[in-house]
Amino acid sequence: MVGIGGGAPSEENDVRLGDVVVSCPTGKSGGVVHYDFGVAMQNKEFQRTGVLNTPPFSLLTAVQHLSSVHERRGHNLSESINSTFTSNHRLKQKYERPPPTTDILYVSNFVHSIANKPCLGLCDGDLGHQVPRPQRESPENEPMVHYGLIASADKLMKDATVRDQLAETEKVLCFEMEAAGLLNAFPCLVIRGICDYSDTHKNDIWQGYAAAAAAAYARELLHIIPALSQAEATPQSADSASTTGIHDALKSFVSELAE
C-alpha cells in the first residue's frame, strides 16, 4: 500500500516532512498496528486492537536488500521524482518539493487556533512554539527512508500528545488510515510519504511531494523484486504469487503519477 501519512518524530527518529516510512516487523507486530483512536483521544490508556499480517518473506527480503543498497550508495528518490517532471512538466506544480521553511514542527501542547485557516501566516510566525531542529547532514532537500512500525486507525490522528506517547512507548514512526481496513485480510507492506506531523497543524502543501516520494521508493523496490526472484530461481509458491500481486499493485500506483 503506497500513499501518505502523518509523521511521529522523536529524539530517536528524526522523521520530517517528505520522508518515507516503510512498515517492517518489530517484536510481535507485522509492521502495522491497529489502535483504538477514540480511546486514545479521551486521554485513556492506549489500546492495540489488532496487527496487520507480516508481508511475504520475499517482499521483506527485497526491502532489506534495498535498505542495504541505500546504506552503501544512497537512494535515488529525488532523481526519480525529478525525472518524472522532465517527462511530464504538468506534474511539477503538484508534486515538487515545497520550500524547507514550510516544514515546521510545533511543540505538542500548541494547538492550531482557528479552524479552516492554514498555519502559514497564522502559526508559523510564533517561533516560541516551534521545535528547533538542526539541519540534516545530508542535503536538506533529500528525503530519508525510515523502517519500523506504522499505526493505523479509521480516523485521522490530530493529537500531538498522543502522537508523542505512541512514538515513545510503541516506537511508532507514522500514522495512517487505509491499512486499518485490511487487518488480517492479506499480507501487506505499507509505504507512506510524510505530509504532516499528526497534529492540529495540518495542511495540504506537502501531500503531493509526500505521495511522489513514497511512489519513488516503491519504484526502486519494483526493480529489486524481479532480480531477487530470478536469483532464487525457485518454483512459484503462494508467497511468490502474492508478491506478484503486490508488484502489480505498486506498479499501478506508481504509473498514476506519470499519467
Q: Pinpoint the alpha helices (H) of 116-173.
A: 160-169
Question: Burial of 244 by CB count in 10 Å (0-12 exposed, 13-18 middle, 19+ buried)?
Answer: middle
Higher pLDDT, 155 or 216: 216
Alpha-carbon separation of residue 198 from 66, 128, 236 (angstroms): 27, 20, 41
In this structure, what CATH number is given to the domain that contains residue 237?
3.40.50
Continuous segment of H or E residues that includes residue 211: helix 207-232
Q: Are 95 and 85 in contact (CB under 8 A)?
A: yes
What is the count of structural domains for the chain? Answer: 1
Q: How far apart are CA 181 and CA 36, in angstroms?
A: 13
> pTM of the predicted model, to two decimals?
0.83
What tens digit of pLDDT does each residue of 57-86 get?
888 999 999 999 999 998 999 999 999 888
Mean pLDDT of 178-197: 81
Domain that holds residue 209: 2-256
Query: 132 is written with which cell numbers?
Result: 528547533
